[in-house]
Amino acid sequence: MHVFVTGASGWIGSHTVDDLLTAGHVVTGLARSDASAAALAAKGVGVLRGDLDDLDVIHRGAAESEGVLHLANKHDFANPAVSDAAERASIETIGAALAGSDRPFVFAAGVAGLALGRPATEADPNPFVGPDAPRGGGENRGFDFVEQRVRAVAARFSPTTHGPGDHGFVAYIVATARQHGVSAYIGEGTNRWAAVHVTDAARLVRLGLEQAPADTRMHAVAETGIPTRAIAEAIGEGLGLPVASIDPADAPAHFGFIASFFGMDMSATSEATRELLDWRPTGPGLLQDIAAGAYFDVRVASAG
Protein backbone atom coordinates (compact mmCIF):
# COMPACT_ATOMS: atom_id res chain seq x y z
CA MET A 1 0.00 0.00 0.00
CA HIS A 2 1.20 3.54 -0.68
CA VAL A 3 0.77 5.26 2.68
CA PHE A 4 0.91 8.99 3.38
CA VAL A 5 2.18 9.61 6.92
CA THR A 6 2.05 12.93 8.74
CA GLY A 7 4.44 13.02 11.68
CA ALA A 8 6.61 10.43 9.92
CA SER A 9 9.70 11.91 11.59
CA GLY A 10 8.18 11.92 15.10
CA TRP A 11 8.53 9.47 17.97
CA ILE A 12 5.65 7.15 17.11
CA GLY A 13 5.75 8.06 13.42
CA SER A 14 9.39 7.12 12.86
CA HIS A 15 8.89 3.70 14.48
CA THR A 16 5.69 3.20 12.51
CA VAL A 17 7.40 4.08 9.25
CA ASP A 18 10.10 1.48 10.00
CA ASP A 19 7.38 -1.10 10.61
CA LEU A 20 5.55 -0.15 7.40
CA LEU A 21 8.72 -0.41 5.32
CA THR A 22 9.58 -3.80 6.83
CA ALA A 23 6.08 -5.00 5.94
CA GLY A 24 6.61 -3.92 2.32
CA HIS A 25 4.55 -0.75 2.17
CA VAL A 26 5.59 2.36 0.25
CA VAL A 27 5.64 5.50 2.36
CA THR A 28 5.45 9.21 1.66
CA GLY A 29 6.02 11.39 4.73
CA LEU A 30 5.14 14.99 5.43
CA ALA A 31 8.29 16.91 6.43
CA ARG A 32 8.39 20.48 7.65
CA SER A 33 12.15 20.91 7.84
CA ASP A 34 15.31 19.98 5.97
CA ALA A 35 16.36 17.76 8.89
CA SER A 36 13.11 15.80 8.89
CA ALA A 37 13.14 15.51 5.09
CA ALA A 38 16.70 14.17 5.17
CA ALA A 39 15.86 11.64 7.89
CA LEU A 40 12.94 10.33 5.85
CA ALA A 41 14.86 10.25 2.57
CA ALA A 42 17.66 8.28 4.25
CA LYS A 43 15.13 5.54 5.01
CA GLY A 44 13.86 5.42 1.44
CA VAL A 45 10.69 7.33 2.29
CA GLY A 46 9.21 9.77 -0.23
CA VAL A 47 9.11 13.33 1.08
CA LEU A 48 6.27 15.81 0.78
CA ARG A 49 7.49 19.14 2.13
CA GLY A 50 4.94 21.09 4.13
CA ASP A 51 3.61 22.25 7.45
CA LEU A 52 0.43 21.13 9.20
CA ASP A 53 -0.98 24.53 8.26
CA ASP A 54 -0.42 23.83 4.54
CA LEU A 55 -3.77 22.15 4.11
CA ASP A 56 -3.50 22.05 0.31
CA VAL A 57 -0.30 20.00 0.66
CA ILE A 58 -1.90 17.65 3.19
CA HIS A 59 -4.92 17.25 0.91
CA ARG A 60 -2.65 16.34 -2.00
CA GLY A 61 -0.64 13.86 0.06
CA ALA A 62 -3.83 12.12 1.18
CA ALA A 63 -5.48 12.18 -2.26
CA GLU A 64 -2.43 10.61 -3.92
CA SER A 65 -2.16 7.81 -1.34
CA GLU A 66 -3.91 4.51 -0.78
CA GLY A 67 -4.18 5.16 2.95
CA VAL A 68 -3.22 7.79 5.51
CA LEU A 69 -1.67 7.75 8.99
CA HIS A 70 -2.04 11.07 10.76
CA LEU A 71 0.54 11.19 13.57
CA ALA A 72 1.74 14.81 13.39
CA ASN A 73 0.82 17.19 16.16
CA LYS A 74 2.11 20.65 17.04
CA HIS A 75 2.15 19.72 20.76
CA ASP A 76 2.07 23.35 21.85
CA PHE A 77 1.30 22.59 25.49
CA ALA A 78 1.69 26.26 26.47
CA ASN A 79 -1.02 27.17 24.00
CA PRO A 80 -3.10 24.04 23.34
CA ALA A 81 -5.68 25.87 21.22
CA VAL A 82 -3.01 26.15 18.51
CA SER A 83 -2.41 22.40 18.45
CA ASP A 84 -6.10 21.61 18.73
CA ALA A 85 -7.07 23.82 15.77
CA ALA A 86 -4.35 22.28 13.59
CA GLU A 87 -5.41 18.78 14.64
CA ARG A 88 -9.03 19.37 13.69
CA ALA A 89 -8.14 21.06 10.40
CA SER A 90 -5.77 18.23 9.43
CA ILE A 91 -8.38 15.58 10.17
CA GLU A 92 -11.03 17.45 8.20
CA THR A 93 -8.66 17.91 5.26
CA ILE A 94 -7.57 14.27 5.14
CA GLY A 95 -11.14 13.02 5.62
CA ALA A 96 -12.36 15.18 2.74
CA ALA A 97 -9.50 14.00 0.50
CA LEU A 98 -10.38 10.34 1.15
CA ALA A 99 -14.18 10.72 1.00
CA GLY A 100 -15.93 8.15 -1.17
CA SER A 101 -12.81 5.97 -1.50
CA ASP A 102 -13.13 3.34 1.28
CA ARG A 103 -9.44 3.97 1.92
CA PRO A 104 -8.05 3.68 5.47
CA PHE A 105 -7.44 6.74 7.62
CA VAL A 106 -5.75 5.99 10.95
CA PHE A 107 -5.41 9.02 13.20
CA ALA A 108 -3.76 9.53 16.58
CA ALA A 109 -5.92 9.85 19.66
CA GLY A 110 -5.46 9.18 23.36
CA VAL A 111 -7.05 7.49 26.36
CA ALA A 112 -6.93 10.68 28.47
CA GLY A 113 -10.25 11.77 29.88
CA LEU A 114 -12.23 8.80 28.49
CA ALA A 115 -13.41 7.24 31.74
CA LEU A 116 -13.45 8.11 35.42
CA GLY A 117 -12.69 5.65 38.18
CA ARG A 118 -12.04 2.59 35.99
CA PRO A 119 -9.87 1.65 33.03
CA ALA A 120 -11.15 2.96 29.69
CA THR A 121 -12.22 0.44 27.07
CA GLU A 122 -12.61 0.68 23.33
CA ALA A 123 -16.37 0.88 23.85
CA ASP A 124 -16.10 4.13 25.78
CA PRO A 125 -17.06 7.03 23.56
CA ASN A 126 -14.73 9.97 23.35
CA PRO A 127 -16.44 12.81 25.23
CA PHE A 128 -14.64 15.58 23.36
CA VAL A 129 -16.82 17.14 20.67
CA GLY A 130 -16.33 20.33 18.70
CA PRO A 131 -13.40 22.60 17.88
CA ASP A 132 -12.96 23.93 21.41
CA ALA A 133 -12.62 20.46 22.96
CA PRO A 134 -9.24 18.83 23.76
CA ARG A 135 -7.46 17.73 20.55
CA GLY A 136 -10.02 19.84 18.69
CA GLY A 137 -12.57 17.06 19.12
CA GLY A 138 -10.48 15.24 16.52
CA GLU A 139 -11.50 11.66 17.30
CA ASN A 140 -15.20 12.29 16.85
CA ARG A 141 -14.55 14.53 13.83
CA GLY A 142 -12.55 11.75 12.19
CA PHE A 143 -15.39 9.28 12.64
CA ASP A 144 -17.78 11.71 10.90
CA PHE A 145 -16.10 10.58 7.68
CA VAL A 146 -17.21 6.97 8.07
CA GLU A 147 -20.54 7.85 6.47
CA GLN A 148 -18.59 9.31 3.56
CA ARG A 149 -16.97 5.93 2.99
CA VAL A 150 -13.66 6.58 4.70
CA ARG A 151 -12.28 3.64 6.73
CA ALA A 152 -11.66 5.85 9.77
CA VAL A 153 -9.74 4.24 12.68
CA ALA A 154 -8.60 5.93 15.89
CA ALA A 155 -5.30 4.89 17.47
CA ARG A 156 -5.81 5.75 21.12
CA PHE A 157 -2.29 5.77 22.50
CA SER A 158 -1.39 5.20 26.13
CA PRO A 159 -0.23 8.40 27.84
CA THR A 160 3.22 6.95 27.73
CA THR A 161 4.29 5.31 24.48
CA HIS A 162 7.71 4.59 25.82
CA GLY A 163 11.17 3.40 24.88
CA PRO A 164 14.75 4.64 24.56
CA GLY A 165 14.72 8.05 22.88
CA ASP A 166 11.20 9.00 24.02
CA HIS A 167 10.95 12.76 24.59
CA GLY A 168 7.30 12.65 25.73
CA PHE A 169 5.63 12.87 29.12
CA VAL A 170 7.94 10.54 31.05
CA ALA A 171 11.01 12.37 29.76
CA TYR A 172 9.44 15.59 30.98
CA ILE A 173 8.77 14.10 34.42
CA VAL A 174 12.39 12.95 34.57
CA ALA A 175 13.54 16.47 33.66
CA THR A 176 11.31 17.91 36.38
CA ALA A 177 12.81 15.52 38.94
CA ARG A 178 16.34 16.57 37.93
CA GLN A 179 15.42 20.22 38.11
CA HIS A 180 13.92 20.01 41.62
CA GLY A 181 16.23 17.35 43.03
CA VAL A 182 13.24 15.21 44.02
CA SER A 183 11.15 12.69 42.11
CA ALA A 184 7.60 13.67 43.00
CA TYR A 185 4.18 12.16 42.61
CA ILE A 186 0.91 13.95 43.26
CA GLY A 187 -1.13 13.24 46.39
CA GLU A 188 -1.23 9.49 47.08
CA GLY A 189 0.07 8.66 43.60
CA THR A 190 -2.55 5.94 43.23
CA ASN A 191 -3.90 7.26 39.91
CA ARG A 192 -2.64 5.05 37.11
CA TRP A 193 -1.22 5.42 33.63
CA ALA A 194 -1.60 2.91 30.83
CA ALA A 195 1.61 2.23 28.91
CA VAL A 196 2.82 0.69 25.67
CA HIS A 197 6.25 0.20 24.17
CA VAL A 198 6.71 2.28 21.04
CA THR A 199 7.49 -0.71 18.82
CA ASP A 200 4.26 -2.42 19.88
CA ALA A 201 2.34 0.79 19.23
CA ALA A 202 3.91 1.10 15.78
CA ARG A 203 2.94 -2.47 14.88
CA LEU A 204 -0.61 -1.86 16.04
CA VAL A 205 -0.91 1.26 13.89
CA ARG A 206 0.22 -0.76 10.87
CA LEU A 207 -2.23 -3.59 11.65
CA GLY A 208 -5.03 -1.05 11.98
CA LEU A 209 -4.16 0.46 8.64
CA GLU A 210 -4.15 -2.96 6.98
CA GLN A 211 -7.11 -4.61 8.67
CA ALA A 212 -9.28 -2.59 11.05
CA PRO A 213 -12.82 -1.97 9.86
CA ALA A 214 -14.27 1.53 9.70
CA ASP A 215 -15.25 3.02 13.06
CA THR A 216 -12.64 1.11 15.08
CA ARG A 217 -11.15 2.54 18.26
CA MET A 218 -7.85 0.77 18.84
CA HIS A 219 -6.25 0.91 22.27
CA ALA A 220 -2.46 0.99 22.06
CA VAL A 221 -2.23 -0.30 25.61
CA ALA A 222 0.11 -3.05 26.82
CA GLU A 223 -0.08 -2.33 30.56
CA THR A 224 -3.47 -1.33 31.95
CA GLY A 225 -2.34 0.97 34.72
CA ILE A 226 0.90 1.75 36.53
CA PRO A 227 0.46 3.86 39.68
CA THR A 228 2.10 7.25 39.23
CA ARG A 229 3.82 6.71 42.56
CA ALA A 230 5.58 3.66 41.09
CA ILE A 231 6.68 5.77 38.10
CA ALA A 232 8.12 8.42 40.43
CA GLU A 233 9.87 5.73 42.50
CA ALA A 234 11.48 4.20 39.41
CA ILE A 235 12.68 7.64 38.30
CA GLY A 236 14.01 8.43 41.80
CA GLU A 237 15.85 5.12 41.87
CA GLY A 238 17.36 5.73 38.45
CA LEU A 239 18.48 9.28 39.22
CA GLY A 240 19.50 8.62 42.82
CA LEU A 241 16.99 11.20 44.05
CA PRO A 242 14.56 11.16 46.98
CA VAL A 243 10.92 10.40 46.21
CA ALA A 244 8.14 12.49 47.73
CA SER A 245 4.46 13.25 47.48
CA ILE A 246 3.46 16.79 46.67
CA ASP A 247 0.13 18.34 47.44
CA PRO A 248 -2.19 18.58 44.41
CA ALA A 249 -2.43 22.34 45.01
CA ASP A 250 1.35 22.65 44.56
CA ALA A 251 1.53 20.35 41.52
CA PRO A 252 1.13 23.00 38.77
CA ALA A 253 4.01 25.07 40.17
CA HIS A 254 6.18 21.96 40.50
CA PHE A 255 5.36 20.16 37.26
CA GLY A 256 4.13 22.87 34.89
CA PHE A 257 1.68 21.73 32.20
CA ILE A 258 2.25 18.05 32.96
CA ALA A 259 0.63 18.38 36.41
CA SER A 260 -2.86 17.88 35.01
CA PHE A 261 -1.78 14.72 33.18
CA PHE A 262 0.35 13.27 36.00
CA GLY A 263 -2.53 13.79 38.40
CA MET A 264 -5.08 12.13 36.11
CA ASP A 265 -6.07 8.47 36.04
CA MET A 266 -5.36 7.31 32.48
CA SER A 267 -5.71 3.57 32.84
CA ALA A 268 -7.13 1.59 29.94
CA THR A 269 -7.53 -1.95 28.65
CA SER A 270 -7.02 -3.37 25.17
CA GLU A 271 -8.83 -6.72 25.08
CA ALA A 272 -10.99 -5.78 22.08
CA THR A 273 -7.99 -4.46 20.16
CA ARG A 274 -5.93 -7.60 20.82
CA GLU A 275 -8.81 -9.81 19.72
CA LEU A 276 -9.67 -7.80 16.61
CA LEU A 277 -6.15 -7.52 15.23
CA ASP A 278 -4.40 -10.45 16.92
CA TRP A 279 -2.06 -7.87 18.44
CA ARG A 280 0.27 -9.20 21.13
CA PRO A 281 2.55 -6.60 22.74
CA THR A 282 6.04 -8.00 23.33
CA GLY A 283 8.16 -5.00 24.31
CA PRO A 284 9.46 -4.22 27.80
CA GLY A 285 7.16 -2.56 30.31
CA LEU A 286 7.47 1.07 31.37
CA LEU A 287 9.17 0.40 34.72
CA GLN A 288 11.60 -1.97 33.00
CA ASP A 289 12.45 0.74 30.45
CA ILE A 290 13.02 3.30 33.21
CA ALA A 291 15.15 0.87 35.20
CA ALA A 292 17.20 0.09 32.09
CA GLY A 293 18.05 3.80 31.77
CA ALA A 294 15.91 4.61 28.73
CA TYR A 295 15.12 8.07 30.09
CA PHE A 296 18.31 9.23 31.69
CA ASP A 297 20.14 10.45 28.57
CA VAL A 298 17.14 12.34 27.20
CA ARG A 299 16.87 16.09 27.66
CA VAL A 300 13.66 18.01 27.04
CA ALA A 301 13.64 21.73 26.30
CA SER A 302 12.27 22.91 29.63
CA ALA A 303 10.49 21.58 32.67
CA GLY A 304 8.66 22.92 35.66
Q: Which residues contact ligand NAP (rule: CB under 6 A)?
A: 7, 9-13, 30, 32-33, 36, 51-52, 71-75, 108, 110, 157, 159-161, 168
For the CB of residue 168, give the shortest distance to ligand NAP in the complex, in Å. Answer: 4
- Residue closer to ligand NAP, measured from CB, 157 or 185: 157
Query: Cβ-count burial of 247 within 10 angstroms (0-12 exposed, 13-18 middle, 19+ buried)?
Result: exposed
Please identify, using beta-carbon distances, which residue of 12 and 239 lies nearer to ligand NAP.
Answer: 12
Closest contact distance (angstroms) between CB of 272 and ligand NAP is: 18
DSSP secondary structure code for residue 295 in this structure: T
Q: Which is nearer to ligand NAP, 7 or 142 (CB)?
A: 7
User: Of the two residues 75 and 253, which places its CB atom closer to ligand NAP in the complex?
Assistant: 75
Provide the 3-class DSSP secondary structure of residue 30. Answer: strand
Query: Please, what is the minimum distance in Å from the beta carbon of residue 179 to ligand NAP?
Result: 21
Shortest distance, position 109 Cβ to ligand NAP, whole Å: 7
Amino acid symbol at 106: V
Backbone angles phi, psi at 129, to 5 degrees: -125, 135
Helix, strand, or coil (residue 49) = strand
Please, which residues have CB within 8 angstroms of residue 250's CB and are 6 or more apart in sequence? none
- Nearest distance, CB of residue 240 and ligand NAP, angstroms: 26
Instruction: For CA atoms 257, 129, 96, 21, give the dihedral sign.
Output: positive
Judged by beta carbon, residue 268 or residue 277, the one nearer ligand NAP is 268
CA atoms of 293 and 304, how far apart (whole Å) = 22
Strand, helix or coil for residue 275: helix
